[in-house]
Structure 1
Amino acid sequence: MATTAAKLSVLFVCLGNICRSPTAHGVFAKLVEQAGYSDLIQVDSAGTGDWHLNHAPDRRTAQVAATKGYDLSELRARLVTSADFNQFDYIIAMDNANLEDLRAMQPQGYQGYLGLFLDFSEQSAVQEVPDPYYGGEDGFELVFGLVEDAANGLLRHMQSSHLQVLGS
């Protein structure tokens, strides 16, 4: 696990790494930057499927993010690997199917957090971030709202759980 006295790391995971996890990556990275933690928290995203490797986020994802002030243009899809368990303190799945795939990859003795993103959300009506890929434009707006809420909750959790690392 990557935690040292100076750094925490978060990996967001969805299926193709072109909709949900890059949205979470972009939103959380900006929150981290605004909080002054960019040197203390590393943020990345990956997918459990290899259909979109090296692709930019879905144009609909990028458009919704841009209207909210987030730039996802530098992000490229990559595949999650077993090595990620050695690098990331938090490996956060968007839904239960991806969480199960991650659990199957999880090495024995992993000490980090492996769970669902919406576990950090203030709302309780939705447990998983739905995949908007095959749906309409409104699905991307819904995903963005869920992601923004959970990202704020994750940052609050990290602030309260890792005060010595974050220097707060």
Structure 2
Amino acid sequence: MADQVTKSMLFVRLDSIRRSPIAEAVFRKPMGNPLDYGGQSCMRRYGIPMSHVAQQITEDFAMFDYILCMDESNLRDVNRKSIQVKTCKAKIELLGSYDSQKQFIIDDLYYGNDSDFETVYQQCVRCFRVFLEKAH
């Protein structure tokens, strides 16, 4: 049996408490502001506990193996910030690049309803299945 390799991931959506917390909850790696109510409601429907708090991205470039962004604007911002640090071990990508349905952007849920939160949840599930199949 092969040894298991542990990888760390950070989910990024700048100025959001909706998309990245859902991604984190689906993948289950607890992280400072609570998740938006609609996101909490969606996660409860699937029995997924939430302990997420939002925080500023700082030394994360050296701490995480992957930084997965929710949209292209976040990807540009994170790449720009990564240039300013001495050590960046993280692979910076769009979470949606792993979506089997090729929906590369995890849509913003600022004005979202229950259906929109469900869509983001399902997209995150698809992305993580592909991510894990590729056995990074």
Which bin holds the TM-score, normalised by the shorter protein?
Answer: 0.7 to 0.9
State the secondary structure of the residue aligned to 2:8: strand
Alignment-derived partner of residue 7 in structure 2: 8
Q: By how many angstroms is 1:109 displaced?
A: 5.8
> Can you give the 5+ residue segments of structure 2 that lack an aligned partner in the other structure?
none
TM-score (norm 1): 0.71
Question: In the superposition, relative to structure 1, how do residues 44 and 113 fare at CA in structure 2: closer, same or farther (>3 Å)?
Answer: farther
Query: Equivalents in 1 of 2:14, 2:125: separation in Å?
Result: 19
Structure 1 runs (4+) deviating above 6 angstroms are none
1:73-110 CA deviation, whole Å, 9 max, x = no partner? Answer: x21111111x1001001000010111111011003663
Alignment-derived partner of residue 27 in structure 1: 26
Query: Equivalents in 1 of 2:101, 2:69: separation in Å?
Result: 17
Query: Equivalents in 2 of 1:117, 1:23: separation in Å?
Result: 12
> Can you give the 5+ residue segments of structure 1 that lack an aligned partner in the other structure?
30-42, 46-53, 162-168
Q: Does 1:120 align with 2:113?
A: no
Name the count of aligned residue pairs: 131
Query: Identity of counterpart residues, as a percentage?
Result: 28
Q: By how many angstroms is 1:153 displaced?
A: 1.4
CA contact (8 A) 1:129 1:143 kept: yes
Residue type of the partner of 1:135? G
Q: Kindly indicate which of the two structures has a greater share of residues assigned to strand.
A: 1
Cα RMSD over matched residues? Answer: 1.9
Alignment-derived partner of residue 71 in structure 2: 95
Alignment-derived partner of residue 140 in structure 1: 117
Q: By how many angstroms is 1:15 displaced?
A: 2.4
